[in-house]
Amino acid sequence: MSKSKPFTMRLTQQTDAWVEQEAQRTHRSKGAIVEALAEEAARMRRFPGIAFRGAEHDRRARLLGTAHDVWEVIEARKGVSTLEELLEKADILERQVRLALAYYQEYPKEIDQAIAANQASEQQLHVLYPTLVTNG
């Protein structure tokens, strides 16, 4: 993704202090912190009903009012033949499914990567994490 032209901004002292502390905690620049916050805020405004959760390195889009991440809804949708079938099986509203589908249309790579990570086999996980013990 290409970057825009640089610009300057002033934060309130309180916000600047928080950004500074977050930059130190995560070993990232203040600019990277503000950019990540702006990106999430823009996505939430573009897709009302979407929020984000997870650690800094693993932020995931989720559907407000549910326990579901967007990738989970998309994976479930791919597993059924019709939207109606999904709505019968899942505890989710049609508008929430449509919101997840709209978000996926805009950010397919992000969602597809999360689905792929979830589908990693026990053998693939063992290669990445040799000491991982599974209940298999």
> What's the pLDDT score for residue 127?
78
> What's the pLDDT score for residue 20?
97
CATH number of 48-130: 1.10.10
Q: Distance between CA 76 and CA 89 in Å, rounded? A: 10
The tens-digit pLDDT sequence of the chain (136 residues) is 688 888 899 999 999 999 999 999 999 999 999 999 999 999 999 999 999 999 888 899 999 999 999 999 999 999 999 999 999 988 899 999 999 999 999 999 999 999 998 887 777 777 777 887 767 5
DSSP labels for the chain?
A: ------------HHHHHHHHHHHHHHT--HHHHHHHHHHHHHHHHHSTTEEEES-GGG-EEEETTSS-BHHHHHHHHHTSSSHHHHHHHSS--HHHHHHHHHHHHH-HHHHHHHHHHHT--HHHHHHH-TT-----
> What's the pLDDT score for residue 81?
93
50 forms bridges with which residues in the sheet?
63
For the entire predicted model, the pTM comes to 0.84
> What's the pLDDT score for residue 30?
96
Task: Name every residue whose Cβ is closer than 8 Å to that of residue 32 and which is 6 or more positions away in sequence.
Answer: 23
> What's the pLDDT score for residue 136?
59
Q: Distance between CA 3 and CA 38 in Å, rounded? A: 13
> What's the pLDDT score for residue 87?
93
